[in-house]
Amino acid sequence: MAQVDGSAFFKIGYGLYVVTTHDGRRDNGMICNTVVQVTGSPARVAVTISKSNYTHDTVRRTGRMNVCTIAETAAFPLFELYGFRSGRDADKLAGVEVTRSENGLAVIANDCNSFFSLEVESYVDLDTHGMFVCRVIEAKTLSDAPTMTYAYYHANVKPKPKPAAGRKKGFVCEICGYVYEGEELPPDFVCPICKHPASDFRPLE
Ligand code: FE
């Protein structure tokens, strides 16, 4: 019988991006790996965002966003800043030096090698997520640094869990490296650092 092997999904190649928005009050940014160019002429990019993210609601309302391509030169604090809390309660860009694209949205120039300014053309409701199919209205290369892939992030950027010696059984968050100690991970567990669900944890070796 056909089976869906969950680990196969880790073999899909992804880049990593900061998606910036403005909700009318302040700038916001989130980390995203589901960005893909879908047509060339006119240039369109599809960005898929969890409905639990504040950015999803902001883009639904405002119809625009910037996608900034994270370079390998970026370090873990970038992911902590944009990835591990919500723009609903935190002013993530407070004190961050940004440049602006022509649409007025923030560009995270220091840690990114390109950006795209997008306008939403259509929306696909995917139950837990929404896919925004967007027209590219501005795009620019910022540096020649290589793009950070999800695999590069896992291998080189995410903090390594401490060595197993003397540690109890547990589960490690694939996203941020947080370790839950215990025999069994509760199915409704949510990572206290990055807010990802139990499905993003794997048993410690
Ligand atoms: Fe986590």
pLDDT in tens, 7-59: 898 889 999 999 999 999 999 999 999 999 999 999 999 999 999 999 999 99
CA distance 90 to 86: 6
CA distance 23 to 17: 19
pLDDT in tens, 144-200: 999 999 999 999 999 887 666 666 789 999 888 888 989 899 999 998 888 888 998
DSSP letter at 168? -
Residue 62 has which token pair? 């405002």
Q: Is 23 helix (H, G, I), strand (E, B) or coil?
A: coil
Rounded distance from Cα 27 to ligand 1 centre (Å): 24
What are the beta bridge partners of residue 3? none
Amino acid at 173: C
Rounded distance from Cα 111 to ligand 1 centre (Å): 21
Length of the chain: 205
Question: What predicted TM-score, i.e. pTM, was given to this entire model?
Answer: 0.86
Rounded distance from Cα 202 to ligand 1 centre (Å): 11
For residue 196, what pLDDT is reported? 85
Rounded distance from Cα 158 to ligand 1 centre (Å): 10
pLDDT cut 70: percent of the chain above it:
97
CA distance 80 to 72: 16
CA distance 80 to 107: 18
Rounded distance from Cα 31 to ligand 1 centre (Å): 13
